[in-house]
Structure 1
Amino acid sequence: MARGEEEVSQNERKLPLGDSPELRAALAEANVPTLLMSYVHLTHDAAMLDAFQNYIRPPYSMPPTEIPGECIEDLRAKLLEALTVPGIAKATPPSDELMRRMMAVGVGEEVADEFVPLLYDQIGLKLPLPRNEIAGRQTPPADFKVLVIGAGLTGLCAGIKLAEAGYDYVTIEKNPEVGGTWYENRYPGVGVDTPSHFYSYSFEISPEWSTYHPHGEDMQNYLLHVADKYELRRNIRFNTMVTKLAFDEAASLWRVTVRKADGSEEVISANAVINAHGPVNRWKFPDIPGLEDFQGPMMHTATWDPSIDLKGKRVAVIGTGASAAQLVPAIADEVGQLTVFMRSRHWVIYNPEIMDDVTDGVKYALRHIPFYREWFRFRVYWFAADGLFANVLVDPNWPKDSPSVSAVNDGVRQYALAHLNHKFADRPDLLAQLTPDYPIFCKRIILDGGWFDALKKDNVALETDRIERFVPNGIRMADGRELEYDVIICATGFDVANMLGKLEVRGRDGRNLRDEWGADDPRSYLGVTLPGYPNYFLTVGPNSAPNHAAGQNLISETQINYIIECLDHLVEKGARTIEPTQGAFEAWNGQIEERMKSMIWAHPKAQSYYRNSKGRVFLSWPYRLVDYWTATRKPELADYRVD
């Protein structure tokens, strides 16, 4: 049977396992619904689903339920037997019908049929057949060259899949190592909002995470492992930056100007370009006068200087977004006095797992219990992704003057408020300062990994008045106060709307993408392609970001799949260029604009980096992840011009 047609897993299926203290500890510590999935997957014992289906519910469901202890012990005993006694585990995979029932019972709610192909793909249970093994697929010509910009999460995925598909490619990376944002961001406390066991490639699921939400170093180590395993560095040119792309119409090639570490330039020719330089590597300082006046160290979180000693110092942190919420708890006990300057309030969600370590028993289960790794990823995906979509969809019948946009959205708002009120019951001053006046999910939510506790420390102050300017010894406020600091840290985010950065892109007929997009108004077709720019592919492009949920890794994978589908069609037809038609581009953007009217990000009080200076939501994908995954299986050829 071909690899893509059979059930595969990244666990090694070595059964039986020996009955050991490590295995018994794993059964005692591992997630019970995931153990249930592993057991049924191995044995096809559907009766065990009947025993559990009335007790497994989604998180925060009311009233809460508890799985009876006798059911749990029965499951552990039967799974132990299936793992250690030969002949109990089935040699064949469960039927699709049983798999769908397992999915529904495993998360305590219906899993619609439309999700099943995505779930098989993203949880690693049915990996697609590698392109170079597809019968009848035309092999790319040896002289067909692809250039990838960036060796971060998306660029590395591009390299893996291009190589798998038989394309000759080169990746241009401005840094001396892979990792992108996880190479660059090294400030204390840096981490990932997305749960560890989902924030990875579906084809390279790791059991080695040390926490349920990865620290920045964990994420970088994962990407280093990927680069090593897939031998990606041999195709990467480090310490090199792409400065200009110019399409040569006569040759149907992109002429790519790169700047080397010594400042010299070189022009590389490529049939296609994949821009994977990402939106979160163009960090920005605050728009406050006097940046050059301050005489002490000033740094951005994205350019952290570990040589600067913070111990006992007077430190100012400007910003209260995700970076500040990670940084402040990490340095609060080290500094002498810390002031956090807040321009806008953020909703904060308490997730009890964010500070938890993954125990040795759970790691054993992930490494050795067949199918546990995949089913655990399924569960994490389900509750961190499209299950949250209802929160960002505006109910047209919901009261317009409400601080929420739907019943579901209001429920999450009440959950966040309860945590806020609990944390600051003894600090009404901070409670008033920190309570947002806009619906939750309007902009990025902060996960509380010690943020609220840090703001209550005796040596930490929250400042909400306006900054007038930087001065040599610190900060002057609009009310005339001058506050003295030894170090100023700017946790002020990135210039996301400027999706080109400093890159110059010229397409057909001398078209200039910067002229078309302006400073902050990028548009595309499906977040990937552009009319007038043949064989030029975006990743994390306009209106493709999963701003309702976790899932950038999923978006990266599905965009790379779509791009290679476009290239394969080009090769199959013996054509030289592919680009969307102007009509398809306009129709898609019109659809997005209309849909955005019903999304929370267009709310009058939604001021976030998802919107540009004119208020247009340029970043967010206004549908579910499953919709984007489905739309990017292959191009709608009627929407494309192929020459």
Structure 2
Amino acid sequence: MSARVDHELVIVGSGFSGIGMAIAAKNRGRDFVVLEKGDEIGGTWRDNRYPGCECDVPSHLYSFSFELNPYWSKAYATADEIQDYLLYCVEKYDLRPHLRFGSTVARMTYDEGLAAWHLTVTDRDGVAHRLVAGAVALGVGALHEPRLPEIGGIEQFRGELMHTARWDEGATMVGKRVGIVGTGCSAVQAIPHLAQDAGRLTVFQRTPAWVLPKIDPAYPDWLIDRYEKHPWLMKAHRAKLRAAGDVRVGGFTRAPSALKAASKAALANMHSAVKDPQLRAKLTPRYTMGCKRATMSNTYYPALARDNVTVETSPIECASAGGVTTADGTTYDLDVLVFATGFDVTGSYRHLHITGLGGHTLESDWSTDIDTYFGVTAPGYPNLFFLLGPNTGLGHTSVVLMIEAQIGLISRLLDERDRRGATAVQVRPEIVPAHMRQLDERSARSVWEEGGCTSWYLDARGRNRLLWPGSVGDYERKLARPELVDYEFTGSATG
């Protein structure tokens, strides 16, 4: 490592991606630091603290393959349990000395002569510091920057405003007039709790969700004990869960008709709880299941059927000091307005102000299209790696599987760079267009583009730039045996 470089590797973010990358770096003996803008690790599971927050992927699959957890309390873990799991990993692998909390990356600029990244990092007091990194791994995630709808006059609203990803844990909804915008995954989890506490709850729905019944049994002590004493049983259970997820991918990418049985189950779930025909009509999706992320809940539909809950399908036109008015002229007086409106999937990268070769900025390069190679590397940005980057999200199984594959690729590329005595590695620019065309061709047949809905999976031109249009196994195989000729290794570590 050059004397002018502070760390071989800087990892930005401390969720699953950042923690996993840090463990791999430590196992390989690399000098690294993890920059985290918050006061604790956790990423998504630290930030999302709304009532009812939990994972919609089975617990035993939503964990590192090398660090299985026999102590999950039920089939789908709560946010608190997942955060505790990540905290355990930090302590077990002794990552605390490498963590720098209250550190926000404000700017990143590549130095071609040094083959390193100059980072401007601000602390809690807004004081800027400089850091030079031989390589950077971005684990900032897509579920990070809240997306807020544009509502005229919202600045006049005198009540409480919050996004589900920025929940005020000290807030109370008891007896209040509450409005919630959105009916996606977060809303489906939060609405039953809000309905129970609020004096009046208004759900502002643009598009109804497909909500399947949730099979979420608690794990008895005897089973937890068996998993602890016989890890192979836990591994077998994990393999079964993974196989079940892999079966579903065909319904999303090739044959949406395969999801008809699940659609019927979701409708039956709704009909069993909602008897009012008008409310049923509002809650019946008119698009193919999977076009938006399907959700699971046994309490969502009963909550919407409560006497103190109204489902409003007319869009919000404007806000005032005391509430909001919808396009049909109805005014709702509100004490609290909650946005469950998803995330800006590229916002986390845009705020880093990344400048690569030739003065190109990532924000500019990605303003018209997002070009990456397997979501991990981008042309023109040497020694920069994305974890859970574009086109690597999943709608059918655990993203932790994708994260581990990406960590493996990054580790191999850095090892190969060092083995060759080079100082920089990046994907060859001429390789990427064909790769992106292949992703577009595969996505064109998917339910995400043909399912008849508008979702945050797609960019402004209707192209999938969030999800991997294939199986996890296919992705893992491609990254486990990378074609090294697809990458440029440049510079000399001894020159």
List runs of 5+ in structure 1 lacking aligned partners: 1-139, 396-404
Counterpart in the other structure of 1:631: 478
Alpha-carbon spacing, 1:255–1:634, altered in 2? closer, same or farther (3 Å): farther
Equivalent-residue separation in structure 1 for 2:231 and 2:8 (angstroms): 40
Counterpart in the other structure of 2:493: none
The question of 1:585 aligning with 2:432 is answered yes
Counterpart of 1:184 in structure 2: which amino acid?
D
The question of 1:393 aligning with 2:256 is answered no
Where relative contact order (Cα < 8 A, 6+ residues apart) is larger, the structure is 2
List runs of 5+ in structure 2 lacking aligned partners: 491-495
Q: Which of 1 and 2 has greater Rg?
A: 1
Residue number among 245, 268, 271 corresponding to 1:421 in the alignment = 271
Equivalent-residue separation in structure 1 for 2:445 and 2:251 (angstroms): 12
Does the 8 Å CA contact 2:111/2:117 hold for their aligned counterparts? yes
Partner of 1:537, secondary structure, is strand
For residue 141 of structure 1, report the CA deviation from its aligned partner. Answer: 9.1
Partner of 2:162, secondary structure, is strand
For residue 494 of structure 1, report the CA deviation from its aligned partner. Answer: 0.9
Does the 8 Å CA contact 2:64/2:400 hold for their aligned counterparts? yes
For residue 477 of structure 1, report the CA deviation from its aligned partner. Answer: 1.5
Does the 8 Å CA contact 2:289/2:451 hold for their aligned counterparts? no
For residue 410 of structure 1, report the CA deviation from its aligned partner. Answer: 2.1
State, as a whole percentage, how many aligned pairs show the same letter: 35
Does the 8 Å CA contact 1:565/1:634 hold for their aligned counterparts? no
Residue number among 138, 155, 159 corresponding to 1:292 in the alignment = 155
Q: Deviations over 1:25-84 (max 9, x none)?
A: xxxxxxxxxxxxxxxxxxxxxxxxxxxxxxxxxxxxxxxxxxxxxxxxxxxxxxxxxxxx
Equivalent-residue separation in structure 1 for 2:47 and 2:116 (angstroms): 32
The question of 1:381 aligning with 2:242 is answered yes
Aligned CA RMSD, in angstroms, stands at: 1.6
For residue 490 of structure 1, report the CA deviation from its aligned partner. Answer: 1.1
Alpha-carbon spacing, 1:604–1:391, altered in 2? closer, same or farther (3 Å): closer
Counterpart in the other structure of 2:120: 257
Equivalent-residue separation in structure 2 for 1:293 and 1:303 (angstroms): 20
Equivalent-residue separation in structure 2 for 1:198 and 1:394 (angstroms): 24
Partner of 1:315, secondary structure, is strand
Does the 8 Å CA contact 1:497/1:522 hold for their aligned counterparts? no
The question of 1:457 aligning with 2:306 is answered yes
Counterpart of 1:380 in structure 2: which amino acid?
L
For residue 312 of structure 1, report the CA deviation from its aligned partner. Answer: 1.0
Partner of 1:333, secondary structure, is helix
Residue number among 178, 187, 190 corresponding to 1:324 in the alignment = 187
Partner of 2:131, secondary structure, is strand
The question of 1:187 aligning with 2:50 is answered yes
For residue 377 of structure 1, report the CA deviation from its aligned partner. Answer: 1.4
Does the 8 Å CA contact 1:497/1:612 hold for their aligned counterparts? no
The question of 1:552 aligning with 2:377 is answered no
Alpha-carbon spacing, 1:293–1:185, altered in 2? closer, same or farther (3 Å): same
Q: Deviations over 1:244-268 (max 9, x none)?
A: 1111111111111111111111111
For residue 623 of structure 1, report the CA deviation from its aligned partner. Answer: 0.9
For residue 291 of structure 1, report the CA deviation from its aligned partner. Answer: 1.7
Does the 8 Å CA contact 1:473/1:484 hold for their aligned counterparts? yes
Counterpart of 2:459 in structure 1: which amino acid?
N
Equivalent-residue separation in structure 2 for 1:497 and 1:585 (angstroms): 19
Equivalent-residue separation in structure 2 for 1:370 and 1:171 (angstroms): 31
Counterpart of 2:239 in structure 1: which amino acid?
F
Partner of 1:270, secondary structure, is strand
Counterpart in the other structure of 1:483: 332
1:42-441 aligned within 5 A: 145-353=8-216, 356-383=217-244, 385-395=245-255, 405-406=256-257, 408-424=258-274, 426-441=275-290
Q: How many residues align?
A: 488
For residue 476 of structure 1, report the CA deviation from its aligned partner. Answer: 1.0
For residue 634 of structure 1, report the CA deviation from its aligned partner. Answer: 3.7
> Bigger shift: 492-501 or 192-201?
492-501
Does the 8 Å CA contact 1:347/1:416 hold for their aligned counterparts? yes
Partner of 1:366, secondary structure, is helix
The question of 1:506 aligning with 2:337 is answered no
Counterpart in the other structure of 2:454: 607
For residue 415 of structure 1, report the CA deviation from its aligned partner. Answer: 2.5
TM-score (norm 1): 0.74
For residue 430 of structure 1, report the CA deviation from its aligned partner. Answer: 1.6
Does the 8 Å CA contact 1:390/1:409 hold for their aligned counterparts? no
Equivalent-residue separation in structure 1 for 2:39 and 2:250 (angstroms): 42
Partner of 2:311, secondary structure, is strand
Counterpart of 2:483 in structure 1: which amino acid?
E
Counterpart in the other structure of 1:81: none
Partner of 2:154, secondary structure, is coil
For residue 465 of structure 1, report the CA deviation from its aligned partner. Answer: 1.1
Residue number among 543, 557, 568 corresponding to 2:391 in the alignment = 543
Q: Deviations over 1:153-173 (max 9, x none)?
A: 100000000000111101110
- Give the 4+ runs in structure 1 shifted more than 4 A: 140-144
1:13-52 aligned within 5 A: none
Q: Deviations over 1:387-419 (max 9, x none)?
A: 111211334xxxxxxxxx33x122322232232
Equivalent-residue separation in structure 2 for 1:157 and 1:141 (angstroms): 26
Equivalent-residue separation in structure 1 for 2:54 and 2:300 (angstroms): 13
For residue 522 of structure 1, report the CA deviation from its aligned partner. Answer: 2.1
Q: Deviations over 1:287-343 (max 9, x none)?
A: 211221111111111111122221111111111111111111122222111111101
Counterpart in the other structure of 1:93: none
Counterpart in the other structure of 1:516: 365
Alpha-carbon spacing, 1:450–1:463, altered in 2? closer, same or farther (3 Å): same
Equivalent-residue separation in structure 1 for 2:236 and 2:452 (angstroms): 39
Partner of 2:350, secondary structure, is coil
Counterpart of 2:399 in structure 1: which amino acid?
Q
Equivalent-residue separation in structure 2 for 1:481 and 1:419 (angstroms): 30
> Bigger shift: 457-466 or 561-570?
457-466
Counterpart of 2:387 in structure 1: which amino acid?
T
Does the 8 Å CA contact 1:386/1:624 hold for their aligned counterparts? yes
Counterpart of 1:256 in structure 2: which amino acid?
L
Counterpart of 1:414 in structure 2: which amino acid?
K
Partner of 1:247, secondary structure, is strand
For residue 629 of structure 1, report the CA deviation from its aligned partner. Answer: 0.7
Equivalent-residue separation in structure 2 for 1:309 and 1:393 (angstroms): 42
Equivalent-residue separation in structure 2 for 1:622 and 1:483 (angstroms): 41
Name whichever structure is richer in strand by fraction: 2
